[in-house]
Amino acid sequence: MVVPMVRVTLKTVAEEAGVSVSTVSNAYNKPDQLSTAVRERVLATAKRLGYAGPDPAARSLRSQRAGAIGLLFTEQLSYAFSDPYSVGLLAGLAQVAETHRTGLLLIPLEHFDPSRPQDAEPSAQAMRQAVVDGVVAYCVDADHPAREVALERGLPLVSTIDDADERQRYVLIDEEGAGRALGRHLRDLGHRSVGIIVDGRAPLGEARVVRPEDEADLFVDSRARLTSLRDALGPQATVTAVFAGHNSQEAGAAGAAFLLDRQDRPSAIACISDVLALGARDAVHQRGLEVGREVSLTGFDDIPRAEAVGLTTVRQPIAEKGRLLGRMLLDPDYTERRVLLPTELVVRSSTGPAPR
């Protein structure tokens, strides 16, 4: 016969230790209000009975504070620790969280396809159950159900994607302006045949041309940068946009291989991230071509390795963006609701005049 286990509670520990329930609670939550001897006796009794302490979810409900903020992003969890841009953003966000003695909960989401809303239900449920005081939506589409769940719960939400919703606050860069600066740079160098590598929800390695009906599968920042690059290159340019999966060097290499092996090889390849550009650079070298002379190459973000390889790119203040996202959630003295951070076109050796 299986003997049911008796649930040990604060009251159980208090009776066994010969103290009040409030004394047991203070041993965990307000240790400075007890003598060392009393607290050690309470904790020893709790350990002997197998009591691990007050339930954190219940405690947060009573205190109305979870002591953590959530970061929503539509990638696998490992991406947050492997992508250089994500690492820089998290570092800035963590600096502010540490200052406010607040934890950080990473919440990876499924991509939202409006034609298949049922696929996003696990993400919405994860947001319903998350014990957090506020939320950072990192490159999450404005119509993603998890964002709406957070807002319905009344949680403060700060976003890196612009959206006309007064319930949210925003830390942004001028995506369109930055894309136009890159496009003008390539146009002024005489490039009239340009490939653009974007990231999206395609199987990794299977590069294909982006058709109008595919643009819904692109990540939101990819769409903005692609549109502005096309506009700046002008109607005289032949532009071929491709994608080969999410933001990774493998996807960049696959996209560049697709472009470089075409009969009408472009004279320049613009990538909407430095990570994609690093992969594209590998593909250029594998074909015995010289970056900056036979094929110009650009990225976006200015991650640390970009300077080392001479990559022309758009610099954005990655860590500062993370710090501002944190301050908007945690610093009561920071009242800005919408911040537009500056970007800078950084020209290096990976771009040059179009070959004659």
Q: Which tokens belong to 339? A: 């911040």
Residues 179 and 307 in one domain: yes
Is the residue at 202 inside a domain? yes
Is the residue at 199 inside a domain? yes
Residues 184 and 313 in one domain: yes
pLDDT of the residue at 66: 75
Contact 79/73 with Cβ under 8 angstroms? yes
Residues 201 and 335 in one domain: no
Residues 230 and 270 in one domain: yes
Domain count, the chain: 3
- The C-alpha atoms of residue 137 and residue 168 are separated, in whole angstroms, by 10
Element housing 135 (H / E): strand 135-137
Is the residue at 16 inside a domain? yes
Local mean pLDDT, 10-residue blocks, the chain (356 residues): 57 89 83 85 86 59 71 88 94 96 92 79 87 92 89 92 89 94 97 94 75 78 91 95 90 95 95 97 97 98 96 97 96 94 97 93
Residues 159 and 116 in one domain: yes
The whole domain housing 125 covers 68-174+319-341
pLDDT of the residue at 157: 96
Is the residue at 63 inside a domain? no
Residues 284 and 217 in one domain: yes
Residues 291 and 326 in one domain: no
pLDDT of the residue at 76: 83
DSSP states along 312-341 = BEEE--HHHHHHHHHHHHH-TT---SEEEE
Residues 44 and 85 in one domain: no
The whole model's pTM is what? Answer: 0.80
Q: How far apart are the first and last CA of the chain?
A: 87
pLDDT of the residue at 99: 95
Residues 201 and 323 in one domain: no
Residues 105 and 155 in one domain: yes
Residues 156 and 211 in one domain: no
Is the residue at 83 inside a domain? yes
Is the residue at 346 inside a domain? no
- CATH number for the domain spanning 88: value is 3.40.50.2300
Is the residue at 253 inside a domain? yes
- Give the SS3 label for residue 288: coil
Greatest CA separation for the chain: 90
pLDDT of the residue at 21: 86
Tell me the angle at which helices 84-99 and 274-286 cross, rounded to the nearest 10 degrees: 160
- CATH number for the domain spanning 38: value is 1.10.260.40
Residues 267 and 179 in one domain: yes
pLDDT of the residue at 257: 96
Is the residue at 5 inside a domain? no
Query: Other C-beta atoms within 10 Å of 308: how many?
Result: 8
Contact 280/257 with Cβ under 8 angstroms? no
